[in-house]
Amino acid sequence: MREQSPVYYDEQHRLWNLFRYEDVVSTLADPATFSSHIMPPASAQDSEESFLSSWLKGDITKMDPPQHRHFRGLVSQAFTPRAIEQMAPRIHEITNTLLDGVAAKGEMEFVSDLAAPLPIIVIAELLGVPPEDRDRFKIWSNTLIDSSSVQPGDKATLNKVIPIFKEMFAYLQDFCQARREHPRNDLISHLTQVEFEGRMLNNDEILAFVTTLLVAGNITTTILLGNAIVCLNEHPDAAEAIKADPSLIPSMVEEVLRYRPPFTATMRLTTKEVTIQEVTIPERQMVITWLISANYDEQQFPDPEHFDIRRHPNRHQAFGHGIHFCIGAPLARLEARIALDILLKRFPSLQIQPGARQEAHASPFINGVKTLPV
């Protein structure tokens, strides 16, 4: 597709697909032409689903400038590499505690034992959720992830998830209010104190951001960790090289992000007619930028099918590009580096169980497995 149909119109789904690295990057760098403000159809907003679509209005990933610039400026302070680096000792501790549980059990299902709980606990602590509420938080987080691919009109699933969301929103509303009155050293307290467009963020806006973090930050990191295990299993030479020299872990993590990116694509909406590779896309069309295809573009990555843990430079698109570049990238990288380092030291002969069932996520936009017995 990159060579013959780099701009491909899928008539059935009415979607324009972009496959080349240069087109993905230039699209994501141009929010004036390619908007992120993609909302559910008006009909969905009138129904019971309005409950879900209401938080989408405060979802940073759906914002365009200037609203996006202001909002991002406020929340990004909590995600600077320096702020995130301070979490390293806790990430070590959480990983070791989770692996103590595995050692005591004598067996490991990689996703449920380490890859899923680690990012959920880290985000819960970042937000300031107390340990006694962690289990409820985990249920909410998983429900959000499961429902992120619900189709409008899927009443059965909506009826199941909406009571859980109502419980979560009520909890977070009270939590925001409590932190607004008595701030502590956590992200929710921080968000209650900062100003946005000359005013304070209200509880609904904070709630929308927190919900976005739960969706955007949990499953992706879980999948990255699982994908790293899959890559190392497929490439025993790379696994041996890392065990011999753990300083290769950061560049290995980058190569996993390139080779098996957790999100395969992002969506944009054209605000005006635009021409790419001599193909004209009309105004108000949905465009898919295939991050996974950009990551395999021969023009950018020599020998892209080769899993090369020393690849340099490695300007992969797993975290996107431009104003919406993943705010959680420093956190995801830190978690992956620490967790994989400890894991390989404590369980150096770890391997995926031969013949074990690895159930893939159903969504074409999520690239990873739900279970990984090792």
Residue 123 in the binding site for ligand HEM (CB under 6 A)? yes
**Distance in Å, CB of 86 to ligand HEM, minimum:** 15
Closer to ligand HEM by CB, 221 or 270: give it.
221
The letter for the amino acid at 19 is F
- Candidate residues 60, 249, 292, 343; the one interacting with ligand HEM per rule CB under 6 A: 60
Name the residue among 114, 73, 112, 109 with its Cα closest to residue 97: 114
**Tokens 């099918």 sit on residue:** 305
Which one, 256 or 281, has the nearer CB to ligand HEM?
256
In the complex, the smallest distance separating the C-beta of residue 321 from ligand HEM, rounded to whole angstroms, is 7
Task: Read off the tokens for 172.
Answer: 């977070």
Q: Which of 49, 72, 211 is nearest to 140 (CA)?
A: 211
- For position 265 contacting ligand HEM by CB under 6 A, the verdict is no
Task: Give 124 or 326: the residue with its C-beta nearer to ligand HEM.
Answer: 326
- Nearest residue to ligand HEM, scored by beta-carbon proximity: 328
310-339 positions binding ligand HEM, by CB under 6 A: 318-320, 324, 326-328, 331-332
- Which of 33, 143, 266, 300: binder of ligand HEM (CB under 6 A)? 266
Within positions 163 to 202, which residues make up the interface with ligand HEM, using CB under 6 A? none
Q: Which stretch binds ligand HEM (CB under 6 A): 48-56, 137-145, 214-222, 366-374?
A: 214-222
CB 331 within 8 A of CB 122: yes
Site string for ligand HEM, 225-264 (x = CB under 6 A): -------------------------------------xx-
Q: Which CB, 117 or 320, lies closer to ligand HEM?
A: 320
Q: Which is nearer to ligand HEM, 158 or 257 (CB)?
A: 257
220 binds ligand HEM (CB under 6 A): yes
DSSP string, 77-132: GGGSHHHHHTTHHHHHHHHHHHHHHHHHHT--BHIIIIITHHHHHHHHHHHT--GG
Minimal distance in Å, beta carbon 268 to ligand HEM? 8
CB of 362 to ligand HEM, least distance (A): 18
Cα–Cα distance for residue pair 272/278, rounded to 1 Å = 16
Alpha carbons within 13 angstroms on the beta-carbon side of residue 250 total 7
Binding of ligand HEM by 224 (CB under 6 A): yes
Q: 267 near 16, Cβ under 8 Å?
A: no
CB 18 within 8 A of CB 291: no
363-372 per-residue burial string, b: 16 or more CB within 10 A, e: under 16: eebbbbbbeb
Which 1-40 positions form the footprint of ligand HEM (CB under 6 A)? Answer: 28, 36
Asked if 321 contacts 294 with a C-beta cutoff of 8 angstroms, the reply is no
Q: Which of 360, 334, 350, 346 is nearest to 109 (CA)?
A: 350
Where along the sequence are the contacts to ligand HEM (CB under 6 A)? Answer: 28, 36, 60-61, 72, 123, 212-213, 216-217, 220-221, 224, 262-263, 266, 318-320, 324, 326-328, 331-332
